[in-house]
Structures are given as structure tokens and as C-alpha cells.
Amino acid sequence: MLQNILMALTVGVFTFDVFSSAQQLTATRCSTMLRYGGFCQDMRQSCPTGTFEYPTFSNFLGCLRTDQICCARQADSGSLVNPAAPIVASPPQDCGVGGGLLQSRILGGRITGPCDWPFVVSIRGLIRGRTQLSYANTIHSCAGVLIANNWVLTSPFCVL
């Protein structure tokens, strides 16, 4: 199934690497994007001592399998390298879906607010252990831009 997904990622002028087998997919976002590294392991086991579960990559986006979690290493000082998953605010009722704490931004002398940038997209992954697809059951993993009603432009690493 994974091969079929990767094969489908050759579109138009963009060609992504296609692997011949799942065994070649050893480098994951879990192992390469965390400051002190991490590794994927079976979700039926908890992360070993000296590591903690990193929820942002404990899904298909981080480990390339839905039955694995991402165990991140702790810094030598004993403090956690990466913060826990962010707490998200309730989505606005009149426009899009927002996340995180709402903060004002100044751009060109104007303070922006919710729904000022309706073309910005949050690409979200299902949180491990959740089955229903909803805003509360997902976590932000990547960003994109809405370029048409049904098309989102994003970086290749967001979908691999």
C-alpha cells in the first residue's frame, strides 16, 4: 500500500523519489527532524526510559506507519528537547479553522485578526489512538496555501 501512495506522488513536472520496498524507508521525520533524534516503535509498547512520546510525529507523517509511535530522546540535562503538543483553541464559528492561541500580528501597519488570511491551510494528522476525524482529534503537521477551491499547494515533505 505504501508503494502505491509513493508511486502516486509523481505528478506533472514534479517527480518524487519512489522506493522499491518499505525496508528502504529507514529515515523518517521522527528520526531526522528532532534535535537529538528519535525512533519509531510499535505503539503497543511505551517509549523506553530516557525517551518520551512525541505526539506530532506519532502517526503516518512521522513514522510512515499508523501502528508506530515516535520516541524522542531527552537532552543530556534531563529536560525535554521538544515541548508537548500545543493546546489548541476552539475554531472560529464564522470562518475556517484556527489553532493555537490567537495573537495579533502587525503587517503593513494593520493589525490582522482571525480569517484575514483565508488561503493559509493547516495540514493536520490524526492523533494516535483517535479514530474520528475532527479538529480536536488532529494535530498540525505542515502548512499549505489554497490555490483553488479544491487544490492546496505545499512542500513535498508534507505528504511523504
Q: What letters, b where the CB count within 10 A reaches 16 and e where it falls short, cover 30-59?
A: bbebbeeebbbbebeeebeeebbbbbbbbb
| 37-61: pLDDT as tens digits | 788 888 888 888 888 888 877 776 6
| 115-154: pLDDT as tens digits | 667 778 888 888 888 888 888 888 888 888 888 778 888 8
Segment (H or E) for 159: none
Domains of the chain: 2-73 (no CATH), 105-158 (2.40.10)
